[in-house]
A and B are shown apart, each in its own frame.
Chain A
């Protein structure tokens, strides 16, 4: 098959990158997700929205292997990435497969410098090829110039907006195929929220598929190609971002109209 033909097939069928199938998750005796299924296609921005406690973070944690750390367990169902099951693959192995997570609450390394934080993002490749490291650093600095200014500063001294940029930058260091973000706008001042979403859009344009969880439903749906609406452990609605923004129920429940 020539490159050209490959291009055509790619254009005709959306390539499924991530698939969550009939997933049921428990924390001890408490059910957090009931049989949910969702798909993320290559090149998309997909948003998971819904009220607090609906299970959005749980879905993200199930995808990236972090459930075990919080005593959650996948009871049934499967998660596949590029056709292969990644169910229960620990997070430190997932990044090698091309999945990076920006965790809820940013979680930068507070006592390490901005530069060291970014180096940690490159950890699994570290010392393999340092010219590649500086290349990646420059790409992240192009996207977030403020990080370059602050590179010698301890990450714990950054503002929450800058920490969010750093957490995203760190996740981009390995050039992931899929970027997962949990509540990127949480705790940010309103002008920073827009900034962060603009950056996410730019990252997506550069070829990274994005799956994000957001409480700020309006902002998320404005930027997302598609969205899923969570309601107490289930997916209540699924549509394009635009249609969901126009949906009466969504407007009433999440957009305060």
Chain B
């Protein structure tokens, strides 16, 4: 039982880590909680579904690899574009007006609900299924069972985490994003355009959210409200890891996934969400700066 819970925890954790990471990348440049991040994740899944849908109604139920690649491409690019549009149409005008953080939070919630309802309007409230084909027997591995799809989720999210880390550490744009995160005024003084950097962070963060949404839809059903709980988990993971810390978001994601899944070893699975919130409260009380946070 324990090996299986660990495997489940790592898989859930990799999705949380992707969402937390995107959320953190954006948080670092804008310094407010971009709640609408959760609905970008949903949008990624639905966009990929839209492309694959034609094929899903096939008799065989098999989707060709090219359609998959195109579906992933549309989902990821669409999620990135959605992040850019939210920034441009909502946050940018608010920044120009020097809106308070509370206004940003409210606006962000508003965007979340608006887009979630839009998705429900277009696709309906019922659950949809993106995964196709017969369910295959998983691989047995150290007493746990792991499916091909789960391996794919682990490999892709692992790759994305590494690529993002290298990008932030090594590239010119990545360094500019770190500089803006440290001190936006000092960054502008050395010639960094803060708006360009914010734009880049929305692209990168939203692409990560879209990728997470597509990955999870290979494993479970999708529905318009799917973004809410994963957003909360992503935020909890970011806070556990240390808000604003990139390694913290990765670490916090896996920590939360494992804690939730190992937690239900002794108690019923219905308590999963409560475990996440209990951990959040413990951290807020005992170590508010998180595991890897500074200050």
> A-side interface residues toward B, CB under 8 Å?
64, 66, 69, 71, 90-93, 95-96, 100-101, 103, 107-112, 116, 119-121, 123-124, 126-127, 170-171, 174
Contacts and interface: CB of A to CB of B under 8 A. Distances in A.
Contact of A92 (B181, B191, B294): B191
Contacts of A69: 185, 188
Contact of A109 (B172, B182, B193): B182
Contact of A116 (B98, B175, B188): B175
Contacts of B189: 64, 66, 91-92, 95, 100-101, 103, 107, 171
Given A95-B189, A123-B191, 10 more contacts: A64-B189, A71-B98, A90-B193, A92-B188, A92-B189, A95-B191, A103-B185, A112-B178, A116-B178, A124-B190
Given A92-B193, A96-B191, A123-B191, A109 B186 contact: yes
A170 B186 CA distance: 10
B10 interface: no
B175 A120 contact: yes
B123 to A, nearest CB: 42
Main SS of chain B's interface residues?
A: helix
Contact of B182 (A66, A90, A112): A112
A120 B185 contact: no
Nearest to B197: A92
B86 interface: no
B58 interface: no
B177 to A, nearest CB: 11
B190 A123 contact: yes
Contacts of A90: 188, 193
A123 B188 contact: no
B11 interface: no
B194 interface: yes
List the 10 shortest-distance A-B pairs measured between CB atoms, nearest first.
A124-B191, A107-B186, A109-B182, A95-B191, A91-B188, A92-B193, A92-B188, A120-B190, A101-B189, A123-B191
